[in-house]
Structure 1
Amino acid sequence: MTDSGPAPHAAGETGTGPLHVPVLIVGGSLSGLSAAVLLARHGVDCLVVERRSGIGSHPRSRVLTARSGEVFRSLGLEPAIDSVSRRPSGWFGADTLADAEYTRLGPAGDPTLRISPAGSRLCDQNRLEPILLADARRRGARVLYGRELTDLVQDAHGVTARILDRSTGRSRTVRCEYLLAADGTRSPVREALGIALNGRRGEPRFLSAVFAADLDSVLRGRRPTAVVFQGSQVLFARGTPGEPLWEYGIPDSPFVGGAGDEELGRFARDRIRRVTGLPGLEPDVRSVLRWGASAVVAERFRAGRVLLLGDAAHTMPVIGGLGGNTGIQDAQNLAWKLAAVLHGAAGGQLLDTYDVERRRVAAHTLWHVLATARGLPEALHPETLQLGYLYPDPGGGPDAGPGEDPYSPTGRPGSRAPHLWLGREGGRVSVLDLFGPGFTLLVGPLGQRWLSAGARSAAAFGIPLTAHRIGGPGSTLRDPHGTFPAHYGIGPAGAVLVRPDGYVARRWFSARDTGTAPDTGTALDDAVATALGLRAPLAAVPVRSPV
């Protein structure tokens, strides 16, 4: 898929004069497009420039974690993603794909469906990116392919960038208030800023080949997520149910030196025949790629008015598929904060919390991914890395560590607001579906007095804030088992303030409305001000370096 030209909103982008835009995103892959969609949702005009001519054909990342699924569910993209993805069925071991029996290597199905309304999916990146591109443009974001950043200079008020049109050789100046670097592992923006990396970069040591083939005769109705052969070779299910593809992967030991495309293709076809158990198979090999497993985190994610996200900020091994997902969640964390700053509800210091929160998550995630690969006992469970990671308490409470068990959520400040099914006319709704682009105030069945406090805070700070009372007489949201207050640790007359990215900012416990609890208006105003960085800036918390 190549760039089809500017979106309707992009009038004037083909001119030669300076172009002004609030946010310039350098890099139009998974993280950059996610940022564009999320910023546009918050009403922020942005321009994405991508040096490639279009979306790549190689599937690249494949796992869409439950947390990323929740992000895209909140954007209304779940049906579109469902049409090009499949649910995980499990990993298996075998000598060849033709074996009569496979050995299960992990849990069946998707365990995250117990704790998430979205769950995880297998969705090739080259299938997901067109959905994000279309949605970004539909919301008014501008995305241009074949454009390359060649220079940038920042000052106290913004960034001046030079953008080269690779098809014409002409350059244009773009002036923006903030620049987001989503330009990949070797990020020219990061290198121009002199931001160092902690960890180790990988040289090409792995080989993967994407191919189409009719394997029904050996699968015999089985639909594995992946099959492992002789401990190192893997066959992954790719594509969509309507257009199945496969990916063969192996450590790249036969090709320590250089190798041409023809040699790589011959090698891939021979190995595909071996692992499938089909010596006469003629696979349609679509692409062969050599790559290295880097494990690095940038020493800082912010340099003035330039912010790093995705692979420009951190690169992870493929284990667990957390690299691309971490970039999606970078974009989610950053988008609402940039919107608050650009809309005048917060000062630029709020963006410091992006560095503190996301660099901590990236470092902890990378450490535990490597610990898992090395079999270290302290490695966190995969679902904890997906859904249980913790930010420092925005209110300054004690550090709770890198993560908590998402199967036993606490609702503590700094944690992902836990999923819970609620009853509503016509069916059920996840509490996560109540969260919009603004702040959300959830109150217990006896917490009516918090509702008026929410309206006052929204007006005072000039921010969107929606309040919902869950359970109790007259509420449209039913709590069938009466578990909401305990799930969030607030009590029947308590309340919890949730940030626009779905993380708990503050909570107040109250067992009953006795009139002796703290003044709701003052308490809520303080929580909103702190969440917006207007009071008590978030303290830096040490992060664990990659092993």
Structure 2
Amino acid sequence: MNTVTDSAPAPCDTGDMGLGPGPGSGPVRVSVLVVGGSLSGLSAAVLLARHGVDCLVVERRPGIGTHPRSRVLTARSGEVLRSVGLESAIDAVSRRPSGWFQTDTLADPVWTRLGPAGDPTRSISPAGSRLCDQNRLEPILLAAARRHGTRVLYGRELTEFVQDPHGVTARVLDRSTGRSRTVRCDYLLAADGTRSPVREALGIELDGRRGEPRFLSAVFAADLDPVLRGRHPTAVVFPASQVLFARGTADAPLWEYGIPDSPFAAGACEDELGRFARDRIREVTGLPGLEPDVRSVLRWGASAVIARRFRAGRVLLLGDAAHTMPVIGGLGGNTGIQDAHNLAWKLAAVLHGRAGGQLLDTYDVERIRVASHTLWHVLATARGLPQALHPETLQLGYLYPDPAGGPDPGPCEDPYRPTGRPGSRAPHLWLRDSAGRRLSVLDLFGTRFTLLAGPCGSRWLPAGTRAAAVLGVPLAAHRIGGPRGALCDPRGTFTARYGIGPTGAVLVRPDGYVLRRWGKAPDTEAALEDAVREALEQPAALGADPVRSAA
């Protein structure tokens, strides 16, 4: 990968590569070029499309991978994908967590439960967590992106790019034909993995430690009903840190066997790995005559690294290109989905002329903070440190710095006791609309700023309409509770959860994070205009230095 700072890549003139007219037609033009068509890149494509941003995704692999890889879809990622209408499709290919257990073999009559049963996030999230194999989730994202008109091309590799004050010029190679095309974009998103060629071309250094391949996992199909005896575990832990994970769906179950410190040197053949995995699967299941149908075997290393910058001009890093985490809790891929969620509305605001490019500085500030904090606690969990936070706090409790520059409350809060403070995820509660249908308050967010007024805050609604017109910014306003015409708050908890009075209000960003709140009604129109203008034109407060000692 070459990157140049003073001249564009040499012209390339061969074939259309699925990108429209070929020779003589000039470069392909697109607002955003996404490099990497895996979990983070496809999530970015779907979220950008929802904001009306045209993008092109190029992925060097020939198609979606077959190994399941990421398995846990956290409650926060579930909320993100619910917001783009994918919840039902995901439910069809996933299962809900049921709990971890420990035993010597599956055939043993006594299993010891590890941790809580089920999914504790269901009480604080409309989505909750799921077990969804990455190779089942990616086709859903791919279909959604293409449904919105996004071009996603496999077997295409970015070979060169150059930035200038007005955009990025890139060269994309069709690996099957050897032909190349020039792509001109406003911004380039690097979602090209832990060894990101884009990041390396930019010279962005990593903090932390890369993992060498020493873990082995094998995905297999087998009839384990005789030893499961009606139990449906999320995972089972055996001696020597061996683990059996539930994969697939309840109707089409698969299993994944995993072991650390596998005794194989680099280059071990697949047949040898498969034989080793089958023998160990027979041991941990307690079924010596079992013939597991091993679908794939993978050796991998547990890296713990984070890039020192997530933005370099018009190039932004997300997913594994920005941070790579050990698999504990499945937070690596989920953090990438949430990178895309944070970035999509900001890119849209800039590209639609509603914000200056400096808004993208807040992506770097906010997501480095979250990734650093998450990585530290993943490692703390791996080491058994008492400071490690509960998974629900890492999923739903992380905080961004207060955009107005208020005191920094720290990197997270207890999601079971939400505050509604600026920089926090807007707390979930169930509402009913005028037709009596139940919806989460989170379902009100997505592509616009959202103003939520208290039950006696009716004057906020026309003020929101006027502020949106003055600033040219999409903004929706709702009154929660109170007289007819408001969204019904059956339990009357809205004002307490958001920390406001009956005449107060909160302003929520498109990604569902609280931007500003007012305990009672001030000069509403001016307050709203100032808050939105500051959000779109000024970088977020830097707050505390990111935690980088994790790795």
TM-score computed with the length of structure 2 as normaliser: 0.95
Q: Distance in 1 between matches of 2:503 and 2:214?
A: 58
Query: Shift of residue 11 of structure 1?
Result: 7.2
| Residue 530 (structure 1) aligned with residue 534 (structure 2) | yes
Query: Shift of residue 59 of structure 1?
Result: 0.1
Query: Shift of residue 369 of structure 1?
Result: 0.7
Residue equivalent to 1:202: 211
Q: Distance in 1 between matches of 2:464 and 2:240?
A: 56
| Residue 15 (structure 1) aligned with residue 22 (structure 2) | yes
* Distance change in 2, residues 1:536/1:134 (3 Å): closer
| Residue 389 (structure 1) aligned with residue 398 (structure 2) | yes
Residue equivalent to 1:270: 279
| Residue 315 (structure 1) aligned with residue 318 (structure 2) | no
Q: Distance in 1 between matches of 2:245 and 2:498?
A: 39
Q: Distance in 1 between matches of 2:288 and 2:392?
A: 39
* Distance change in 2, residues 1:12/1:255 (3 Å): closer
Q: Deviations over 1:127-185 (max 9, x none)?
A: 00000000001011110000000001111111110000001000110000000000000
- What amino acid maps onto 1:530 in structure 2? E
| TM-align CA RMSD | 1.2
> Residue 137 of structure 2 is aligned with which of 125, 128, 139?
128
> Residue 156 of structure 1 is aligned with which of 165, 187, 198?
165
Unaligned runs of 5+ in 1: 1-9, 511-516
- What amino acid maps onto 1:525 in structure 2? E
Residue equivalent to 1:249: 258
* Distance change in 2, residues 1:12/1:261 (3 Å): closer
**Partner SS for 1:253:** coil
Residue correspondence of structure 1 range 137-216 to structure 2 within 5 A: 137-216=146-225
- What amino acid maps onto 1:544 in structure 2? V
> Residue 521 of structure 1 is aligned with which of 506, 522, 525?
525
Aligned pairs, number: 531
> Residue 293 of structure 2 is aligned with which of 284, 288, 311?
284
Residue equivalent to 2:370: 361
Residue correspondence of structure 1 range 96-495 to structure 2 within 5 A: 96-424=105-433, 425-495=435-505
**Partner SS for 1:95:** coil
Q: Deviations over 1:75-102 (max 9, x none)?
A: 1100000000000000000111111121
Tell me if the contact between 2:194 and 2:324 (Cα under 8 Å) persists in the aligned partners.
yes
The range that moved more, 458-467 or 501-510, is: 458-467
TM-score computed with the length of structure 1 as normaliser: 0.95
Query: Shift of residue 320 of structure 1?
Result: 0.5
Q: Distance in 1 between matches of 2:20 and 2:232?
A: 47
Residue equivalent to 2:11: none
Tell me if the contact between 2:307 and 2:322 (Cα under 8 Å) persists in the aligned partners.
yes
Q: Distance in 1 between matches of 2:308 and 2:33?
A: 22
The range that moved more, 449-458 or 338-347, is: 449-458
Tell me if the contact between 2:358 and 2:539 (Cα under 8 Å) persists in the aligned partners.
no
* Distance change in 2, residues 1:536/1:307 (3 Å): closer
Residue equivalent to 2:547: 544
* Distance change in 2, residues 1:370/1:170 (3 Å): same
* Distance change in 2, residues 1:14/1:186 (3 Å): farther
Query: Shift of residue 538 of structure 1?
Result: 3.0
Tell me if the contact between 1:530 and 1:537 (Cα under 8 Å) persists in the aligned partners.
no
Residue equivalent to 2:59: 50
Unaligned runs of 5+ in 2: 1-16
Give me the identity figure in percent.
80
Q: Distance in 1 between matches of 2:240 and 2:465?
A: 59
Tell me if the contact between 1:252 and 1:290 (Cα under 8 Å) persists in the aligned partners.
no
Residue equivalent to 1:68: 77
- What amino acid maps onto 1:456 in structure 2? R
